[in-house]
Amino acid sequence: MTLSSRALAPEHSLPPMIRLLGKLVGGTTRTQIRRASQAYLFLLPWLIGLLFFWVGPIIASFYFSFSEYDVLSSPRWVGLQNYQKAFAGDQLFWPSLWRTFQYSFAVVPIGLAGSLCLAILLNRGLPGTNLFRTMFFVPHLVPAVATAMVWKWLLNPSLGPINLGLETIGLEGPGWLTRKEWALPSIIMMNLWGSFGGNQMLIFLAALQGVPQSLTEAAEIDGAGIWARFRHITMPMISPTILFNLILGVIGALKVFTSAHAATQGGPQYATWFIALHIYRHAFMYFQMGYGSALAWVFAVILLILTWVQMTWSNRWVYYAGE
C-alpha cells in the first residue's frame, strides 16, 4: 500500500489503537491523526502550565479549605470547621465583605460611566484624538503599587500637594488616608484615576466605532436629538459591551487588594480592610492556609453568583443584533 493510499485509508482498515487515537484527537486517517497530534504537541506546554499552575492549585485549595494547614506541617482534616469559623466566628469576615461591596458600589458605576464618556469623546474624531488616547491610557499602565505610593504622597495630610493646595485657598485638607471616614473614599478616588482611561475605555471605543453610521444619520434626519440618538440607537447597539465591561468591572472591584495593601495596610481602624486583604493576611501572613482557602472559596462562590445574576438580568436590556 502506498503512502497516499495509507493516508486515505478508511477507518476500519486502521489498527484498533490507531482508530482509538484518531477518535481522541478528532481524526480517522493517519494524516489527520498526525496533524492533530502535532497540534496537541504544540499545546502541551500550555496544558502543563494549566494543570500545574491553575487546576492543581484549585483542587489543592479546595482540599485545604476542609483542613487545618499551616504549610509547615501536614494538613489535618477538620471538615466544615473553617467555613463555620468564617460565617460565625470571624469578626472581620462580614465587615470586610460589606466594605468590599461598598467600594464596588461606588467604583463600578462611576468607572463604567467615566470610561464610556471618555470613549464617546475620543470617538468624535476631534483634533489631537491620538494624543488624548495616549494621555488617558497612560495611567492604566502605571503599576498598581507605584500608583498607590504616588497617591499616598499626594494625599499626605501635612506635606501632600493636595492639602497644600487647599490651604492656599483657605481650606483645611482632611487626613485622607489617616482618618477612618476618609480612607475608603481616598482608595476609591485613587483607583478611579487609573481605571477611567484603561481597558474599559478602549473596549467602549471599539464598540462605538462598530455602531452603523447609517442608523444615526437616519435618526438625525428624522429629527432625533443627541440624547435620543444615544438612548435609542447607540446604547442598544453597545449593550453587549456594557454587559461585558460590567461583569469584568464587578469582578475587578471585588478583588481590590493592591491599593489598600500598599497605601493603608487595611487601616486606619480597618477602614480599608477588604475581603481580598483578609484572605491574604490569613493565608500568607498568619499561615492559616486552610482557613484562607475556605475564605477564598466563599469569595469565589460569591463571584459566581453575582456573575450569574448579571447574565440572567441581561436578558431584559441587552440587545444582540444576530437574534
Are the CB atoms for 221 and 190 separated by under 8 Å? no
Residue span of the structural domain in which 35 resides: 3-64
pTM of the model: 0.84
Question: Are 41 and 133 members of one domain?
Answer: no
Q: Is residue 322 part of a domain?
A: no
Confidence of residue 316 (pLDDT cuts 50, 70, 90): confident
Q: Is residue 323 part of a domain?
A: no
Assess whether pLDDT exceeds 70 at residue 300: yes
Does residue 189 sit in helix, strand or coil?
A: helix
Kindly report, residue by residue over 34-53, the tens digit of the pLDDT: 777 788 888 899 999 999 99
Does residue 188 sit in helix, strand or coil?
A: helix
Question: Are 35 and 144 members of one domain?
Answer: no
> Mean pLDDT score of the chain, rounded to an integer?
87
Confidence of residue 100 (pLDDT cuts 50, 70, 90): very high
Question: Are 32 and 102 members of one domain?
Answer: no
Assess whether pLDDT exceeds 70 at residue 15: no
Assess whether pLDDT exceeds 80 at residue 321: no
Question: Long-range CB contacts (< 8 A, 24+ apart) of 312-318?
Answer: 314/243, 317/239, 318/239, 318/240, 318/242, 318/243
* Counted domains in the chain: 2
Question: Are 174 and 55 members of one domain?
Answer: no
